[in-house]
Every structure is written in structure tokens, then in C-alpha cells.
């Protein structure tokens, strides 16, 4: 079980670094179009920072899949929310000073994950049928429409809505990855969950990149964390048979709440550094 938690934390580290690199690339790209523009992904793929971030995402996803086959969804997704703590600590080495509140939030994230690790029970997922797999495909279609609609909304609504839809898409990726029974090539090609992962992952990156480009990174990241943690965790408990060790339910709830809330407090560290502004004094002509 503990190696599964290590895989989840490794995925969080990979995702944390990748999100910063991708946010820098997204903000440096302008397609000139309003709303959600698929060309944004084409443009950012031409930037090495985004490509390197994408490679880190792939490594993180492999580690996430390994963790999902050992740990409950609520443990893995809460651990992934800790990627914001990774980003905050990394910011410290880039010259960004963390205040007492930020360090306290990093400590709370670690404490929450420790509680989750102590409360989690290692076991496989309850089997699901073809109907559940097609339900996930339908959910991806609904989220795709919701993301397009959100991209046309006013700025005040657009950013949090796109972040939330992106998070829900990432949540679908986690659920689909959890129900994939085998990583054998033939099993992957014949399982609808594999294609759900691909489509939902692509939509998630598109909507999140759009939110990063056109709105507050803090708001986008916070809403994404909510979507990718709460939704799949509920599905895991209600449908996939996730449970805690006997008598540790309260500990698990407390750990999950602490980890996610503290991660939300660190959401602003998903924002790329900007060049400091220098004030110039007006020239006085005698």
C-alpha cells in the first residue's frame, strides 16, 4: 500500500512542475480567438516548456495509474492536489518567499496525506460493466459541451467554470484509469475506458490551458483541484467500493479535508512568475 502512496506523491511532483511550465507556455500564446479555441493546443505544442510539461504529465499519469490500482480514489486524488504544495516549495527555490501561512499550508497538506495513508485500505476496485464505461463516455461528451459554453461566458464566470470543467475531466481520467483492468496492449485497445482517458485528458488540457490564458491562474487552479478531487472520490466510494480501514472513516475524512483545503490555499503558486514592474520617474524639463 505504501508504494502506491509513493507513486501518488511521485505523480503529484510531476504534475506540479508540469502545471507551472504549461501555464507559462499558455500565457505566452495568443491565438486571437475568443472562447475555447482548439488551435491553442497546437500553438502551445510548439513551445518546449509545454512539451516538457506534457512529458512530465505522462510520467505522472503512469505513476497515478499504478497508485489507482492499489489505493482508493480519494487517497490518490487528494495526493494529486498536493502538487500545489510541490509548486509552492519549488517557488521557494526560484526566489519566491513563502510566508508563515504558506509554510503552514504545506505542513497541513503533508499532515492530511499522512492521515489518509494511515486510514486507507489497500484493495482492488469493484468490477463495473460496459454500461458504466459508456456512462463515462457520455459524461465526457457533456463536459465537452459545458466547456465550450463556459468559454463563451463573461470573464467573471468563464475562468472558474473552465477550471471546474477541466478538473471534472481530469476526474473522469482518474475514474477511467481506475477501471482499466490491465495495461496489456490488447486489453487497452479493446477497453472503452482507454479512449475515455485519451479524450477526457485532451479536453481537460484544452479547457485548463484556456482558463490559464484568459483568467486568474489562482481561480482556475483552485476550481480544477475541487473538480478533480471531490467528484472522483465520491464515485470511488459510491460505485467502485472504496473504503477505509475499519474504524478509520473519520480519520480519512479529516485527512482528505485538510489536504484539499490546504492545497486550495496554495493555488496562487500555480501562477507563473511575471517580470517585476519598474516605475520610472517623469522627466521634468526646466
Looking at beta carbons, which pairs linking 276-282 to residues 24 or more positions away fall under 8 Å? none
Mean local confidence (pLDDT), 47-72? 84
Lowest mean per-residue pLDDT among 21-25, 63-67, 161-165: 21-25
Distance (Å, rounded) from C-alpha 266 to C-alpha 272? Answer: 13
How does pLDDT run across 232-246, given as a tens digit for each residue?
Answer: 999 988 888 888 888
**What per-residue confidence (pLDDT) applies to 273?**
44
CA–CA separation, 219 and 212 (whole Å): 9
Q: What pLDDT does residue 281 have?
A: 43
Residue whose C-alpha is closest to residue 171's, from 228, 221, 119: 228
What per-residue confidence (pLDDT) applies to 268?
67
pLDDT higher than 60, residue 32: no
Reply yes or no on whether the pLDDT at 104 is more than 80: yes
| pLDDT tier for residue 120 given thresholds of 50, 70 and 90 | confident
**Distance linking the first and last C-alpha atoms of the chain:** 76
Q: Quote the pTM value.
A: 0.78
- Phi and psi, residue 244, nearest 5°: -100, 175
Confidence band (pLDDT; 50, 70, 90) for 225? confident
Band of residue 282 on the pLDDT scale cut at 50, 70, 90: very low
Q: Which pLDDT band holds residue 168 (cuts at 50, 70, 90)?
A: very high
Question: Is the pLDDT score of 206 beyond 60?
Answer: yes
- Quick one: cell of 11? 505523480
Cβ pair 224, 208 in contact under 8 A: yes
Highest mean pLDDT among 31-40, 112-121, 166-175, 185-194: 166-175
Mean pLDDT of the 65-93 span = 80
Does residue 108 have a pLDDT over 60? yes
| Residues present in the chain in total | 286
| Secondary structure in 3-state letters for the chain | CHHHHHHHHHHHHHHHHHHHHHHHHHHCCCCCCCCCCCHHHHHHCCCHHHHHHHHHHHHHHHHHHHHHCCCCHHHHHHHHHCHHHHHHHHHHHCCCCCCHHHHHHHHHHHHHHHHHHHHECCCCCCCCCHHHHHHHHHHHHHHHHHHHHHHCCCHHHHHHHHHHHHHHHHHHHHHHHHHCCCCCHHHHHHCHHHHHHHHHHHHHHHHHHHHHHHCCHHHHHHHHHHHHHHHHHHHHHHCCCCCECCCCHHHHHHHHHHHHHHHHHCHHHHCCCCCCCCCCCCCCCC
Which residue did the predictor score with more confidence, 178 or 284?
178
Are the beta carbons of 212 and 27 closer than 8 angstroms? yes
How large a percentage of the chain has pLDDT more than 90? Answer: 19
Amino acid at each position: 500500500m505504501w508504494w502506491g502512496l509513493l507513486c501518488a506523491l511521485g505523480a503529484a511532483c510531476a504534475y506540479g512542475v508540469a502545471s507551472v511550465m504549461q501555464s507559462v507556455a499558455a500565457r505566452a500564446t495568443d491565438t486571437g480567438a475568443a472562447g475555447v479555441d482548439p488551435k491553442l493546443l497546437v500553438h502551445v505544442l510548439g513551445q518546449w516548456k509545454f512539451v516538457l510539461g506534457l512529458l512530465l504529465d505522462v510520467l505522472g499519469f503512469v505513476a497515478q495509474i499504478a497508485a489507482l490500482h492499489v489505493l482508493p480514489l480519494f487517497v490518490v486524488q487528494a495526493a494529486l492536489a498536493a502538487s500545489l504544495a510541490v509548486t509552492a516549495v519549488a517557488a521557494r527555490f526560484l526566489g519566491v518567499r513563502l510566508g508563515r501561512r504558506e509554510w503552514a499550508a504545506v505542513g497541513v497538506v503533508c499532515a492530511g496525506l499522512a492521515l489518509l495513508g494511515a486510514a486507507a485500505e489497500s484493495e482492488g476496485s469493484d468490477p463495473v460493466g460496459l454500461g458504466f464505461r459508456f456512462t463515462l463516455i457520455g459524461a465526457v461528451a457533456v463536459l465537452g459541451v459545458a466547456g465550450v459554453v463556459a468559454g463563451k461566458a463573461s470573464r467573471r464566470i468563464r475562468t472558474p467554470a473552465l477550471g471546474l470543467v477541466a478538473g471534472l475531466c481530469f476526474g473522469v481520467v482518474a475514474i477511467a484509469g481506475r477501471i482499466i483492468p490491465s495495461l496489456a496492449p490488447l486489453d487497452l485497445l479493446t477497453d472503452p475506458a482507454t479512449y475515455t482517458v485519451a479524450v477526457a485528458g485532451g479536453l481537460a488540457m484544452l479547457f485548463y490551458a484556456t482558463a490559464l490564458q484568459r483568467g486568474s491562474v489562482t481561480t482556475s487552479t483552485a476550481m480544477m483541484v475541487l473538480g478533480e478531487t471531490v467528484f472522483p472520490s465520491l464515485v470511488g466510494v459510491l460505485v467502485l467500493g472504496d473504503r477505509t480501514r475499519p474504524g478509520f472513516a473519520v480519520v480519512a475524512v479529516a485527512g482528505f479535508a485538510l489536504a484539499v483545503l490546504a492545497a486550495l490555499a496554495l493555488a496562487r503558486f500555480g501562477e507563473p512568475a511575471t517580470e517585476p514592474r519598474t516605475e520610472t520617474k517623469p522627466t521634468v524639463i526646466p
